[in-house]
Chains A and B, each alone.
Chain A
Amino acid sequence: MVAISEIPQIIAANLGVPAVHVRPESKASDFSEWDSLRHLLLVMEIEEKFGFKFALEEIARMDSVDKIVAAVQKRIAA
């Protein structure tokens, strides 16, 4: 399984931006590349890498890097 610390790199790769640009406090609105389709695809890639699925309503609320990380941490802890 991948580490939670790798989530920013996964997001950067999906958006096609340098990893250093994706910081914990980064929001979807900070990136023109982070559109609705990319949002779903990047979270679904994270789902695949971690081996669980979120409800689409949960995915809708993950509009920043720290929210994605928090959602993954919560799911792992559950």
Chain B
Amino acid sequence: MSAFSPATADHVQKSLDVLKRRNAGQKPLTNYFFQCLNNVSNLRMFESATSLCFLHDEWDFSRLYLYTVDLANLQDELGGLTWPPIVVTDWLSKNGPEPMDSFLRNLGFHFHAIYDRIIYKNPRKECANNHVALADSSDRDAIHALLFRVFDKYADHIMSVEELGELIAKEQVILSRDGDQSIDGLVILPIKGENCNFNFLYNCGGPSNLARILGNFYGVLNERGVKTGFSWVRRTRPLVLRLHESCGWKRDGFTDYIYLR
């Protein structure tokens, strides 16, 4: 029986290049947009003449990426493989989940969540206030534990402790604290140039606290010259979508369909 074999990021990338050259001119289906292959060592790969799949271990599950020019054949090939206990995969589309929905269900996946992408151009004009502060390196582990407690590890692409530490060092994590100095709110704002892809906003500090955290979020974006960005909102959270739309964000039509096996 074929299996996913251990592979390096370099090996995956070279195999992908070969596959693309071999099938030049054919329309591929893929959910791999060059995510997460930097400095990772826990990859396993499966390849055939028309497809390449790889698994990247995250926490206690594996995330599946694929590139294929023959989905029907890939279904047959993957159907005979041995799978890890929990596998997650994303399908990003502007046109609904097919044909991937049928493909994944036939491989034993089930639907887990839908997220809609929202974008902004020129963030809301705000000034940072003095009620919240930038996270410190000593907050790193507590923040990481909080992310796991509050967010969905399968869907929300929770960063590694090391990546979180880098964001803290770059002053891209804003916190608020309660009277006991425990974290009662946070926003993580990874900034690249004039762009911010913002996915983690949390508050348990009462109605006023969220407004202050958001005020600081937009204040910092303005101070640092951020002009554009995107985020993802779970479709089961329409009020969150309304909030962001009130602040100038708009859906751009991209949807992330997330499946679990």
Using a CB–CB cutoff of 8 Å, the interface residues on chain A facing chain B are 28-29, 34-41, 43-44, 48, 55-57, 59-61, 63
Which one of A29, A34, A36, A38 lies within 8 Å of B209 (CB-CB)?
Answer: A36
Type the 1/0 row for B205-226, where 1 means its CB is closer than 8 Å to any CB of A: 1111111101100100000000
Where chain A touches its partner, the secondary structure class is helix
14 CB < 8 A contacts A-B: A28-B206, A37-B243, A40-B207, A40-B211, A41-B242, A41-B243, A44-B246, A48-B246, A57-B127, A57-B131, A60-B209, A61-B208, A63-B207, A63-B208
A59 to chain B minimum Cβ distance, whole angstroms, is 4
Which one of A29, A34, A48, A56 lies within 8 Å of B211 (CB-CB)?
Answer: A56
By the criterion CB–CB under 8 Å, are A36 and B242 in contact?
no
B117 to chain A minimum Cβ distance, whole angstroms, is 20
Interface residues on B, range: 20 to 34
By the criterion CB–CB under 8 Å, are A37 and B211 in contact?
no
Residues of chain A lying within 8 A (CB to CB) of residue B209: 36, 60
A8 to chain B minimum Cβ distance, whole angstroms, is 17
Evaluate whether A55 and B210 lie within 8 angstroms (CB atoms) in the complex, with A37-B240, A41-B243 already known.
no
List the 6 closest pairs (A to B, CB-CB), nearest first.
A56-B215, A36-B210, A39-B207, A60-B211, A60-B208, A44-B246
Residues of chain B lying within 8 A (CB to CB) of residue A29: 206
Where chain B touches its partner, the secondary structure class is helix
In the bound complex, how far is the Cα of B203 from the Cα of A29, in angstroms?
16
In the bound complex, how far is the Cα of B209 from the Cα of A65, in angstroms?
17
Residues of chain A lying within 8 A (CB to CB) of residue B218: 56
Residues of chain B lying within 8 A (CB to CB) of residue A63: 207-208
Residues of chain A lying within 8 A (CB to CB) of residue B242: 41
In the bound complex, how far is the Cα of B94 from the Cα of A24, in angstroms?
47
Residues of chain A lying within 8 A (CB to CB) of residue B124: 56
In the bound complex, how far is the Cα of B218 from the Cα of A57, in angstroms?
11
Residues of chain B lying within 8 A (CB to CB) of residue A43: 211
B30 to chain A minimum Cβ distance, whole angstroms, is 36
In the bound complex, how far is the Cα of B240 from the Cα of A31, in angstroms?
20
By the criterion CB–CB under 8 Å, are B239 and A39 in contact?
no
A38 to chain B minimum Cβ distance, whole angstroms, is 7
A60 to chain B minimum Cβ distance, whole angstroms, is 4
CB closest chain-A residue, reference B242: A41
Residues of chain B lying within 8 A (CB to CB) of residue A35: 207
In the bound complex, how far is the Cα of B55 from the Cα of A16, in angstroms?
46
